[in-house]
Amino acid sequence: MLLEVKDLVVNYGGIQALHGISFNVDEGEVVTLIGANGAGKTSTLMSLARLTRPEAPEVRRGDILYNGESILKTEPHELVQNKMMSLVPEGRHIFGNLTVQENLTLATYARKGETSEIEDTEDLVYSLFPRLKERRKQRSESLSGGEQQMLAVGRALMTGATFIMLDEPSMGLAPILMYDMFRALREINKAKNMTILVVEQNAKVALDFASRGYVLDTGEIIAEGSSDVLRNDERVKKAYLGG
Ligand SMILES: Nc1ncnc2c1ncn2[C@@H]1O[C@H](COP(=O)(O)OP(=O)(O)OP(=O)(O)O)[C@@H](O)[C@H]1O
Ligand SMILES: [Mg+2]
């Protein structure tokens, strides 16, 4: 098991956001965590990435195992340095005053001496997202929302991580761009055996993309299974798939 989350409880001060969730992701899998606003999706990903910024939640109970070892004491930069995971955060957080190319290059800081591997990844990113290639010298703040989302994904790939986590990548994207994005992610999964964990409110898209998933409801996992099973789950249909 690449990632094993066990009975995770996280708090923001006195507010408990996750009430003991457990789930796992195997190497090479594409797994989704679906849930509505405030379900705890972002809190889960922030906890996994071990973010320590002030707005990040605090783990109060449970464990997060990566290849069988707890990462609760691991610093976020170590996760990046060791290419263990890369998070595409909610709201993208790209550097607007830098060009597309500069944003991508900046993401390779942990890959010193890997010149040819970095070039390969860059070729991959530009072939997955030709729009980025056309705009490589453009300042990122002038990209459209969808292009910025592609850049955020491209940057996660440039770190060389073998496991990427995405926080609502479909947010704000027109359907066609959304499907392009998921198609690109599936290609990376196939070509590179990339492990992918995606959290989404858009259950339909998420279940079409992932092979299995979990349903997160106000900090608890209330259903899990293959995408087929979840698509036909009454609660999922009622709450997330428009009846
Ligand atoms: N910095 C914070 N301080 C206090 N409470 C927070 C903080 N961030 C999130 N919460 C609370 O934790 C719960 C889970 O929030 P979270 O952001 O993880 O949800 P989400 O599933 O990502 O929602 P959305 O789909 O709206 O992004 C919510 O009740 C939210 O109000
Ligand atoms: Mg969120």
Beta-sheet pairing, 163-167 with 86-88: parallel
Query: Are both 6 and 71 inside the same structural domain?
Result: yes
Q: Is the CB of 34 under 6 A from ligand 1?
A: no
Query: Are both 134 and 57 inside the same structural domain?
Result: no
Query: Are both 239 and 178 inside the same structural domain?
Result: yes
Beta-sheet pairing, 30-34 with 195-200: parallel
CA 214 to centroid of ligand 2, rounded, Å:
15
3-class SS letters over 73-120: CCCHHHHHHCCCCEEECCCCCCCCCCEHHHHHHHCCCCCCCCHHHHHH
Q: Evaluate whether residue 123 is within a structural domain.
A: yes
Q: Evaluate whether residue 107 is within a structural domain.
A: yes
CATH number at 234 reads 3.40.50.300
Q: What is the pLDDT of residues 151-184, one digit of tens each?
A: 999 999 999 999 999 999 988 888 888 888 899 9
Query: Are both 175 and 64 inside the same structural domain?
Result: yes
pLDDT band at 243 (very low <50, low <70, confident <90, very high): low
CA 192 to centroid of ligand 1, rounded, Å:
32
Q: Evaluate whether residue 190 is within a structural domain.
A: no
pTM of the model: 0.95
Q: At what angle do helices 175-192 and 115-128 cross, to 10 degrees?
A: 140
Residues in contact with 127: Cβ distance below 8 Å, sequence separation at least 6, in sequence order: 133
Query: Are both 28 and 78 inside the same structural domain?
Result: yes
Q: Give the number of domains in the chain.
A: 2
Query: Are both 14 and 115 inside the same structural domain?
Result: no
Query: Are both 102 and 79 inside the same structural domain?
Result: no
> What residues make up the domain containing 109?
92-160
Q: Is the CB of 50 under 6 A from ligand 1?
A: no
| Residue whose CA is at the smallest distance from ligand 1 atom 9 | 43
Query: Are both 101 and 201 inside the same structural domain?
Result: no
Q: What is the pLDDT of residues 40-74, one digit of tens each?
A: 999 999 999 998 777 889 999 999 999 999 999 99
Query: Are both 56 and 107 inside the same structural domain?
Result: no
